[in-house]
Amino acid sequence: MKLEGFPRTIHLRDGLTLSVRPTAQGDEAALLHFYRELPQEDRLFLKDDVTTESWAERFIRRIGRGEATSLIAELDGKVLAEATLYRATHGWSTHVGEVRVAVARAYRRKGLATALAGLLVKLATDQGADKIIVEVVENQVAALRTFEKLGFHKEAVLRDHVKDRSGIRRDLLILANDVSHIWAAMEALVADTPLEEL
Partner 1 sequence: MSKTEIRVGGLGGQGVILCGMIIGKAAAIHDDKHATLIQAFGPEARGSACSAQVIVSEEEIGYPYVRRPDILVLMSQDAYHQFAPELRPGGLLLYEEELVHLDGRLPAGAKAMGIPATRFAEELGRRLVLNIVMAGFFTGVTGLITHEAIEKAVKDSVPKGTEDLNMRALRRGLEYGREAAAKANEGGV
| Nearer to partner 1 (CB atom), residue 18 or residue 121 | 121
Report whether 75 contacts 89 (CB < 8 A): no
Please give the residues from 1 up to 20 whose contact with partner 1 meets the rule CB under 8 A. Answer: 4
Exposed (0-12), middle (13-18) or buried (19+): which is 20, by Cβ within 10 Å? Answer: buried
Among 9, 17, 92, 195, binds partner 1 (CB under 8 A): 195
Between residues 48 and 126, which has the closer beta carbon with respect to partner 1?
A: 126
Q: Do 19 and 74 form a contact (C-beta atoms < 8 A)? A: yes
Question: What distance in Å separates the CA atoms of residue 130 and residue 89, rounded to the nearest whole number?
Answer: 14
Per CB under 8 A, contacts with partner 1 among 165-194 are 179, 182-183, 185-187, 189-194
Of 53 and 126, the one with the shorter C-beta distance to partner 1 is 126
Looking at residues 47 to 86 of the shown chain, list those that interact with partner 1 (rule: CB under 8 A): none
Task: Name residue 63's amino acid.
Answer: I
Q: Is 182 helix (H, G, I), strand (E, B) or coil?
A: helix
Candidate residues 126, 155, 160, 164; the one interacting with partner 1 per rule CB under 8 A: 126
Which residue of 112, 117, 129, 136 would you call a contact of partner 1, by CB under 8 A?
Answer: 129
Q: How far apart are CA 78 and CA 32, in angstroms?
A: 11
d(CA 139, CA 123): 27
How many residues at the interface with partner 1, by CB under 8 A? 21
The three-class DSSP label of residue 96 is strand
Binding mask 105-124 for partner 1 (x = CB under 8 A): -----------------x--
Nearest approach, Cβ of 192 to partner 1 (angstroms)? 4
CB 68 within 8 A of CB 55: no
Q: Does 128 bind partner 1 (CB under 8 A)?
A: yes
Residues that bind partner 1 (CB under 8 A): 4, 122, 125-129, 179, 182-183, 185-187, 189-195, 198
